[in-house]
Amino acid sequence: MPENKPNPETEAREEPTRPPQESLSMDSIETPVDVLYRRSLQGIELPFTARSTGKYREGRGFSYFREGFDAYCFFVTVSGAGEITYRGVTRRVERGDVTFVSSTLPGRVSSLTDDWRFCFVNIAGAFCEQYEALWNRGGLEIIRPKDVGHYVELLDRITDNLKDPRLSAELTVNLLITRLLTDALNERCAESERPPDGRYPAWVREAMVILNEKCSEELRVSDLAARFYMEQNNFIRRFKRYTGKTPKEYQMACRMERATALLVGSDLSLSEIAARCGFASHSFFSKTFRRLYGITPTEYRQGLLKS
């Protein structure tokens, strides 16, 4: 009899589709919002949509497995500690740690403490795969942002808008998810942006020039951030990462540098110097000068004259 050789194409067609798997035993802090089947609005596919959100508190021994779902999960640890397994990698997560993973792949989260609190949003959309690739680079990467409250607030706003059936609310959700992912990735990328020789990126140099040239003016940080297409808090964090100062602190340093130059190279009164350098009053200028340098402007000028 002829040998019956297996046909790989037939076997592939006959292999049953593995259904999505999910093990649930979760202690909800707030009533979850679940809109798993919302994919588009009026036939228009949005870049991002939220499928579900939730806030949970779990004790030691909790374990949750998920696989085969057409969504991506943005996950924030608010307090306590747990661990996440993804792509065969297991990582510990603590307060402030943020992850973004695909729920189509096998994944597990487990609690390591008695009071592990976390919140999340399950996301669908055309750009999820690209953002996940940027985030994890084929593995599992954890981002620890400077202000985890910023991301918890965005998640709360997403949840609130999911309860609103209007089109405007869904468009707002799309915007909030974009901010959620982009702000986190910006923070991760900013860590490695500084060149080894200490040079600043072009946007930092431009911001420093503006702050220096307009040091005597009252600048709004939000306006400066908008100039570089950044959210205000993200702009402040990234500027400080490069310069060691917030924009306001940098502007104040520029004011004081100008003030000391005038104390040395002019016979202007302290009131005139204060006005030229953007201080509201002579007394505020003197208090700020003493706080930073340990002596008053008058003592500084007299000391230079004696020397």
Instruction: Give the ranges where 90-231 is alpha helix by DSSP (H).
Output: 128-136, 148-162, 167-190, 202-213, 221-227
Banded model confidence at residue 13, pLDDT cuts 50, 70, 90: very low
Mean pLDDT on 93-107? 94
- Residue count (the chain): 307
pLDDT in the model for residue 72: 95
Nearby residues of 173 by Cβ (< 8 Å), 6 or more positions away: 48, 49, 50, 158, 161, 162
* Per-residue pLDDT at 109 exceeds 70: yes
pLDDT tens-digit readout, 215-232? 888 889 999 999 998 999
Mean pLDDT on 145-149? 86
For the ranges 25-29, 155-159, 257-261, 300-304, the lowest mean pLDDT is seen at 25-29
Mean pLDDT on 131-159? 90
Cα 149 to the chain's mean position, in Å?
10
DSSP 245: S
pLDDT in the model for residue 14: 45
Mean pLDDT on 27-53? 65
Q: Are 225 and 232 spatial neighbours (Cβ–Cβ below 8 Å)?
A: yes
pLDDT in the model for residue 9: 44
Banded model confidence at residue 304, pLDDT cuts 50, 70, 90: low
Place of tokens 């005597």: 216
Banded model confidence at residue 3, pLDDT cuts 50, 70, 90: very low
What CATH number does the domain located at 18-190 have?
2.60.120.280
Work out the percent of the chain whose per-residue pLDDT is above 90. Answer: 39
Banded model confidence at residue 299, pLDDT cuts 50, 70, 90: confident
Q: How much is the mean pLDDT over the chain?
A: 82
Domain 200-307 is in which class?
mainly alpha
pLDDT in the model for residue 247: 93
Banded model confidence at residue 118, pLDDT cuts 50, 70, 90: very high
CA distances from 47 to 104, 170, 286 (A): 18, 11, 54
Task: Please give the model's pTM, rounded to 2 decimal places.
Answer: 0.57
The better pLDDT of the pair 277, 195 is held by 277
User: Could you tell me the residue ranges of all domains in the chain?
Assistant: 18-190, 200-307
pLDDT tens-digit readout, 165-177? 787 888 899 999 9
pLDDT tens-digit readout, 85-94? 999 899 999 9
